[in-house]
């Protein structure tokens, strides 16, 4: 009998220890540098484990969206991960998932955990594993990489509460202590913390959704910053546009947990049926001078004159790139924001409300610029990157989508760089990967658009491992089979212990 009791006690202790090992650390490491905090980044070997926080799961639709967490493993060995879902009332029993070598696995959150609108934490000791999440309805989708750190502040430079839209803020606290936050709203002529957004308490190991549109009503543009009073949270916003005022689609944005004096956006476009604008927020107590520079792909040496902005304290400035004649209406372009040294936060907004126009007339002896994907609707947002890295992963994409996804590679350096693009797809041996590798050269200050290769097995998701001889910035334009919708945003840079992505070179 005594032996049985001892076995039971040992089993309980082992279970508690295992649970503690998988609970995220409630305190972020001190001294975390800007280049590690501002964008989600994956460890590429040498790390004990990696933790990913996927916060948002609501979009304000009549029916909850389908929430999927996508794990991409570029390594040569299978990986195992543990996923824990959180509701307003607390965590649910975790699930263990396997990810094939050089492949991906998708967690369909509601069927897996038995409830809708859940936040998810994914933990794994597998080097190189990257986690992204997607929200979709029958007609609309968006996706972003999950967070790899928490923060005491989260910036959202561009939100919309106009008619026909929703603006939801998800505050995710997977840690053992309660968190308290204030949400400051930045408008075109003022900045304030409304009473409804002051002192919001997010209980330990829970999630809270705040309807920003109910507080900041009928605004085409506003910014917010989530500031912690105590504890830390992961913050993410979701927007749904129902087509009432022309825009239709879903837009997700992971908050930006830091400011920088330079931001790079690897790919954008204007033209027929497209709206594109850049928003720059000044979070400081002084006026800030900033330049918005647009570089058409292949034309770094003849780029148009930059747009000069003078931004008062706690205000934002907007440049409607789709309305500016100096920005070519055909082809892709990279965008950068450079200040006089002061830190800012920026976002690039894209919307499609109609099909593309006719192709540009052919010019003898010249390669025609690439055309934007032939979609008729959709909305997207990217907050760019203040850092560059030599290794990036584009998480698994539906490469069979029509039109196909596109990957943008921007070289912010002063010298040309050689870029290697290797598909991440199950069943590719070393020889097949070598034969499928694409090598491109990107001129200084320039960018290129890469097609995502079709999978060897139709219906298989394909990721891309992108490496370069010097630091680059990588974004992807995602399309979805059977939907007239898109997502645009950063890929995921890699870092090793002791090495991080590097800040962009000064302007």
Q: How far apart are CA 264 and CA 308, in angstroms?
A: 16
Question: Looking at residue 47, what is its pLDDT?
Answer: 59
- Which residues on adjacent β-strands are paired with residue 482? none
Residue 37 pLDDT grade (very low, low, confident, very high; cuts 50, 70, 90)? low
What span, in angstroms and rounded, lies between the C-alpha atoms of 170 and 415? 42
Residue 219 domain-assigned (yes or no) = no
Q: What is the pTM of this model?
A: 0.91
Mean pLDDT along residues 67-82: 96
In the structure, what pLDDT confidence band is assigned to residue 506 with cuts at 50, 70 and 90? Answer: confident
Number of domains into which the chain is organized? 1
Is 359 part of a structural domain of the chain? no
C-beta neighbour count of 8 within 10 angstroms: 10
How confident is the model at residue 33, as a pLDDT?
38
Judged by DSSP in three states, 192 sits in strand
Does residue 302 lie within any of the structural domains?
no
CA distance 180 to 202: 6
pLDDT mean over 311-334 = 96
pLDDT at residue 46, rounded to an integer:
62
| pLDDT for position 453 | 85
Instruction: Please report the pLDDT score of residue 473 as a whole number.
Output: 98
Residue 344 resides in a domain: no
Q: What is the pLDDT of residue 359?
A: 76
CB atoms within 10 A of CB 274: 20
Q: What confidence category does residue 11 fall into, taking pLDDT thresholds of 50, 70 and 90?
A: very low
Question: Which of 316, 252, 331 shows the shortest CA–CA distance to 278?
Answer: 316
Q: How many C-beta atoms lie closer than 10 Å to residue 342's C-beta?
A: 17
Query: CA-to-CA distance for 355 and 497, rounded, in angstroms?
Result: 46
State CA 233 to chain mean position distance: 17
Q: What is the mean pLDDT of the chain?
A: 89
Higher pLDDT, 305 or 38: 305
Q: What pLDDT digit, counting tens, does each position of 209-263 carry?
A: 999 999 999 999 999 999 999 999 999 999 999 998 889 999 999 999 999 999 9
256 burial level (CB within 10 Å; 0-12, 13-18, 19+): buried
pLDDT at 455: 84
- The pLDDT tens digits for 124-161 are 999 899 999 999 999 999 999 999 998 999 999 999 99
Is there a domain that residue 111 lies in? yes
As a whole number of angstroms, the distance between CA 328 and CA 336 comes to 16
SS3 235: strand
| Statement: residue 26 has pLDDT above 60 | no
Does a structural domain hold residue 50? yes
Which CATH number does the domain housing residue 125 bear?
Answer: 2.60.290.11
Task: Give the CA distances from residue 151 to residues 37, 204, 317, in Å, rounded to whole numbers and listed in that order.
Answer: 8, 16, 25
Q: Exposed/middle/buried for 116, CB within 10 Å: 0-12, 13-18, 19+?
A: middle
Does residue 472 fall inside a structural domain?
no
* Distance, CA of 399 to CA of 482 (rounded, Å): 13
User: Is 70 exceeded by the pLDDT of residue 5?
Assistant: no
Asked, for residue 127, whether it belongs to a domain, the answer is: yes
Domain of residue 135: give its range.
19-145
Q: Taking 80 as the threshold, does the pLDDT of residue 305 lie above it?
A: yes
Supply the pLDDT for residue 104.
96
Of 32-36, 132-136, 258-262, 476-480, minimum mean pLDDT range? 32-36
pLDDT value for 497: 63
Pairing of strands 130-136, 141-145: antiparallel
Residue 337 has pLDDT above 70, yes or no: yes
The answer to whether the beta carbons of residues 424 and 128 sit under 8 Å apart is no
């Amino acid at each position: 009998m005594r032996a049985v009791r001892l076995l039971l006690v040992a089993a309980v202790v082992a279970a508690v220890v295992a649970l503690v090992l998988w609970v995220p650390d409630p305190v972020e490491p001190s001294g975390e540098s800007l280049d590690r905090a501002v964008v989600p980044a994956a460890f590429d070997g040498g790390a004990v484990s990696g933790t990913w926080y996927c916060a948002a799961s609501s979009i304000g639709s009549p029916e909850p969206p389908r929430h999927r967490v996508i794990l991409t493993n570029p390594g040569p060995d299978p990986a195992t991960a543990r996923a824990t879902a959180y509701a307003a009332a607390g965590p649910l029993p975790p699930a263990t998932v396997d990810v094939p070598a050089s492949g991906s696995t998708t967690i369909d959150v509601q069927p897996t955990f038995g409830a809708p609108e859940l936040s998810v934490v994914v933990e794994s000791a597998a080097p190189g594993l990257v986690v992204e999440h997607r929200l979709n309805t029958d007609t609309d989708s968006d996706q972003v990489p999950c967070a790899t750190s928490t923060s005491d502040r989260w910036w959202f430079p561009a939100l919309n509460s106009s008619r026909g839209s929703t603006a939801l803020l998800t505050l995710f606290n997977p840690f053992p202590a309660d968190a308290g936050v204030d949400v400051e709203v930045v408008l075109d002529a003022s900045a304030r913390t409304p009473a409804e957004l002051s002192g919001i308490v997010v209980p330990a190991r829970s999630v809270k959704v705040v309807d920003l549109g109910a507080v900041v009503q009928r605004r085409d543009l506003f910014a917010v910053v989530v500031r912690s009073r105590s504890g830390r949270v992961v913050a993410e916003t979701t927007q749904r546009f129902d087509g009432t005022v022309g825009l239709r689609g879903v837009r997700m944005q992971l908050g930006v947990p830091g400011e920088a004096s330079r931001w790079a956006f690897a790919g954008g476009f204007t033209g027929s049926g497209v709206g594109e604008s850049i928003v720059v927020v000044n979070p400081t107590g002084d006026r800030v001078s900033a330049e918005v520079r647009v570089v058409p792909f292949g034309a770094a040496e003849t780029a148009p004159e930059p747009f000069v902005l003078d931004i008062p304290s706690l205000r934002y400035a907007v440049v409607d790139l789709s309305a500016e004649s100096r920005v070519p209406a055909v082809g892709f372009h990279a965008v950068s924001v450079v200040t006089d040294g002061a830190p800012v936060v920026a976002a690039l907004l894209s919307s499609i409300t109609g099909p593309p126009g006719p192709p540009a007339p052919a010019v003898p002896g010249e390669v025609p610029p690439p055309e934007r994907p032939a979609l008729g609707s959709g909305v997207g947002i990217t907050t760019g990157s203040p850092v560059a890295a030599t290794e990036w992963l584009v998480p698994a994409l539906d490469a069979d989508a029509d039109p196909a996804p596109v990957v943008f590679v921007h070289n912010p350096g002063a010298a040309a760089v050689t870029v290697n693009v290797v598909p991440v797809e199950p069943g590719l041996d070393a020889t097949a990967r070598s034969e499928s590798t694409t090598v491109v050269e990107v001129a200084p200050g320039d960018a290129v658009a890469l097609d995502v290769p079709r999978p060897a097995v139709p219906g298989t998701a394909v990721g891309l491992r992108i490496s370069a001889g010097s630091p680059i910035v990588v974004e992807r334009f995602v399309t979805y089979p059977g939907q007239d919708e898109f997502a645009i945003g950063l890929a995921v840079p890699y870092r090793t212990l002791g090495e991080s992505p590097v800040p962009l070179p000064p302007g």
